[in-house]
Structure 1
């Protein structure tokens, strides 16, 4: 596959969109689970084809006008996205809900949707279609394409929202544009994550999380920087991997095991261990009756397993999936999440992070899988058709890889997979036989897009 088409992007206008109704200025403290996130931004983008001919009055100008008006309405309910993060007297971040507003950028890209090589978002998306957030919590860019299509991209502060919360907001924004009631109103009840008195936690959390002051020395730098790629995996290949993993494991467990073995094969001679982690959402674990279904914020834990590279190479997929199930299961209980809240409380105000993101004294390679199965690709519809394609984008800059599988816009059981990894691992992924990770092409995401 050839390189990405070079194209120019011209910024046409910048505006700040605030909530249409005044918001009483107030502070919203971050929960202990929010405090486990360092200051880093996450991107998400959606590609829309040119509106059908029957919508001849739908132009880029009318689409942008609708986006801004509905955003101003949605921010009344999702007001944290219109605020800004400040530092309190003890050095911790807090959210000032002051209706500062969202920076909204209008741009034009001299490229057609079918010419975007989205398999390589470093060249086709980064610094072009995805805005760099300079202030506030959320930044939005709407880009008109040469073909009349549109790319809507958002960059948000991960300390304020996880992907689940952002998905809720995106759906609510689209519902507002369609003059529909918001189907899942957000909850900002920080009391749902209040620490216990007295607090307690399992000693295993000292392995999963680490205070910043106790971070191990940084590992020797890799010769190459991580790169970003987007692939798709067919439903048949997902089923085949699940069957090879024993059939009793979930698709995401089987996928994680499959990736762990690929990671081991790509390890350098000096990498003796290979770590694989997974992002677990605690909402259903903490409140099985649904009280946290609309909780806005971070409710995440990142358990991981560590195996020696040579041991991993000798394991079959079913054995590896059993290992994944073992360390994942321990983080899927209410007690685990309550323990994480208490663990953070015992160390405040010192910041802490998930250990797998920063490595360990023994070096090695690591990767985190974050299931994006709830990605609302079919629901972020503003009145000119469903998105032909959508993906998260998280080039976070650390040494550990980050992988997010999401449902395809084709709604046929395929997955779209965003990957942030060292290139030698991606070369291995692409060379797998039979092939599993297929480079995303316009032929794939524009064919039969629903």
Structure 2
């Protein structure tokens, strides 16, 4: 893919009537910000059919929306007490303009590959918390790709921001102003009440975080292929009916698709029957906490559920077994669990025991385990700069075996992006579309 960088600049917030706030303020990271992945990487690419708004219009829209999402234009650091903070200094986000002499349909792959990395701004020595690259193709199509620091926002918050950026570019009012509650909303109880063991769930001893039994090397990466699988509404309904027989309430679309993929991937891996396999599932706390946290909350509010099973049980028992495991473990991550985590993460236990987050990416191969990010409810398709929603949307290239992404694909259908080792592909492809698997 031949990409030429035309310009690279910083875009800073623009405030109405010139009423700019102080740039000497900062906000502390919440306990949820600090426990998530401390990395900066690519998020997704959005492809738009022509005609599209000019780069200048999109840049102006970005500048305006940053006045409501100031954290993106800030920088990470520490205060005098050593607390992790975001300096609200309005230093700006990176805005890259690029072109290609190709037609997009001739070069855009149907699934993430190394080639799409050229559509993203470089991550070398990046200080900005958000980066944007606009790539114009010979056919008039536009690709917008972003990179961001995960400690600033989770998927829900990022989707809200992208939708607001579209509204701002169209000179429309933002429909969901994010409340400025990051550093005040999640206070520990007095006295604290730690009702669950958060060791080896959200936190681990620092010595385990350095475990690189399977190193992130080039040879492993070359053996990994990302499969894109499309599940039609009809197929999903068959799975739901099959898994939900005898159950008072049908399992959700997400639960049955993930249960199905868990079983198929486990078969394809050829794991020993007595091994244990688990899934790390991101759980959004906004609707689970009491009182509920507004969907507009900007920051991170995610913990994880970990359904586990012996391989022999997962494969030999009905689909309902896997769906129930997923449903029950996610249900346990409720208000009590979130409150217990806040009390634990706010205590001196973290420093005293030298604990660090379990949210690390230090392996190329997750087998026998999986990790899944579901974007089924996020507003990524609401990013409309004036010519409609993106006609194509795809996650970035993660060469990590077992790291799944599940996305909506229109008409109730679902796309899943599944990184696998080459020697697992034949079995996976043979079983993936069998509703009886």
TM-score between the two structures when normalised by the length of structure 1: 0.83
Corresponding residue for residue 46 of structure 1:
46
Corresponding residue for residue 36 of structure 2:
37
Q: Secondary structure at the match of 2:105?
A: helix
Mapped to 1, the partners of 2:75 and 2:256 lie a distance apart of 40
Mapped to 1, the partners of 2:85 and 2:254 lie a distance apart of 34
Displacement of 1:355 after TM fit? 6.7
Mapped to 2, the partners of 1:262 and 1:114 lie a distance apart of 31
Corresponding residue for residue 339 of structure 1:
340
Q: Secondary structure at the match of 1:103?
A: strand
Question: Which residue among 128, 131, 149 is the counterpart of 1:136?
Answer: 128
Q: Secondary structure at the match of 2:113?
A: helix
Q: Given the alignment of the two structures, is residue 160 of structure 1 paired with residue 140 of structure 2, yes or no?
A: no
Structure 1: any 5+ residue segments left out of the alignment?
Answer: 1-6, 52-57, 437-450
Instruction: For residues 117-173 of structure 1, give each alpha carbon's deviation from its aligned partner in whole angstroms, at most 9, with x where no partner exists.
Output: 4333223412x1122341211000000012110001111101110010101110111
State which drifts further: 217-226 or 342-351.
217-226
Q: How does 1:148-187 map to 2 (within 5 A)?
A: 148-187=140-179
Displacement of 1:212 after TM fit? 4.4
Shift in CA distance, 29/394, structure 1 to aligned 2, threshold 3 Å: farther
Displacement of 1:112 after TM fit? 1.6
- RMSD, aligned α-carbons: 2.6
Corresponding residue for residue 412 of structure 1:
411
Shift in CA distance, 35/423, structure 1 to aligned 2, threshold 3 Å: farther
Q: Given the alignment of the two structures, is residue 11 of structure 1 paired with residue 5 of structure 2, yes or no?
A: yes
Q: Given the alignment of the two structures, is residue 145 of structure 1 paired with residue 145 of structure 2, yes or no?
A: no
Instruction: For residues 342-397 of structure 1, give each alpha carbon's deviation from its aligned partner in whole angstroms, at most 9, with x where no partner exists.
Output: 222233445532379779xxx952112222112324421111232111133262x6
Q: Secondary structure at the match of 1:121?
A: coil
Mapped to 1, the partners of 2:166 and 2:154 lie a distance apart of 19
Displacement of 1:272 after TM fit? 2.0
Mapped to 2, the partners of 1:433 and 1:28 lie a distance apart of 46
Mapped to 1, the partners of 2:424 and 2:281 lie a distance apart of 18
Q: Given the alignment of the two structures, is residue 120 of structure 1 paired with residue 111 of structure 2, yes or no?
A: yes
Displacement of 1:236 after TM fit? 1.4
Corresponding residue for residue 67 of structure 1:
58
Mapped to 1, the partners of 2:256 and 2:342 lie a distance apart of 29
Displacement of 1:204 after TM fit? 4.1
Q: Given the alignment of the two structures, is residue 317 of structure 1 paired with residue 319 of structure 2, yes or no?
A: yes
Q: How does 1:340-355 map to 2 (within 5 A)?
A: 340-346=341-347, 347-349=349-351, 350=354, 352-354=356-358
Corresponding residue for residue 390 of structure 1:
393
Q: Given the alignment of the two structures, is residue 210 of structure 1 paired with residue 203 of structure 2, yes or no?
A: yes
Corresponding residue pairs, total = 411
Corresponding residue for residue 442 of structure 1:
none
